[in-house]
Structure 1
Amino acid sequence: MPDLTVKKLDDILKESTVKKIKPEKILLGYKAYGELMNDRNFFDEVAGSAMDPNKRTYKNIRIKVTQDEYQIEVKFSKK
């Protein structure tokens, strides 16, 4: 199992702000999403962002849960 932490996700997002690239969406594998939901702060922010699980966000970036088990990837806008 890969090392999945909220800190790793935050580091990816922080790197994008340093490069001044706007993240469009976060792709998380279903098992990675489950692991991250064990972190209380991540859970509070994601679960509180929307009633519909398909519209949940983290740090105002849309989350898309994928079929890949441990995928953790950030897609950026093309601008």
Structure 2
Amino acid sequence: MSETSLLNELNATIEYYVNRNGYQPTRIILGYKAYSSLMKDKTFADEVNNSAVNPNKRKYKKLKIKVTKDDYQLELE
């Protein structure tokens, strides 16, 4: 799966969640392989790396990121 298509899927999922529920999700749950693929995308990596000094508190679009043991998990909470 390419980084760009995964990033587009993530952005579309966030947009759908907001349109459906009327509010932002609290966090993004990503599998470790999905996170690794997304970090290869420059725009995603720049935003995440500049969001916090502590790697455990990184954010994308002001949403907390939680990395799991699943391969390509992509969920919103």
**TM-score normalised by length of structure 1:** 0.86
Match of 2:66 in 1: 64
Q: How many residues align?
A: 75
Shift of 1:73: 0.6
Cα distance, 1:67–1:2 mapped onto 2, change above 3 Å:
farther
Unaligned stretches of 5+ residues in structure 2:
none
Q: Is the 8 A contact 2:17 2:25 kept in 1?
A: yes
Match of 1:12 in 2: 13
The RMSD of aligned alpha carbons is: 1.8
Higher helix share: 2
Match of 1:29 in 2: 31
Shift of 1:2: 8.9
* Ranges of 4+ aligned residues in structure 1 off by more than 3 Å: 1-4
SS in 1 for 2:17: helix
Higher strand share: 1
Query: Would you say 1:39 and 2:22 are equivalent positions?
Result: no
Residues 48-78 of structure 1 deviation map (CA, whole Å, 9 limit, x = unaligned):
1011111000000000011111111111xxx
Residues 15-62 of structure 1 deviation map (CA, whole Å, 9 limit, x = unaligned):
122121320110001111000001100000001101111100000000
Sequence identity of aligned pairs in percent? 44
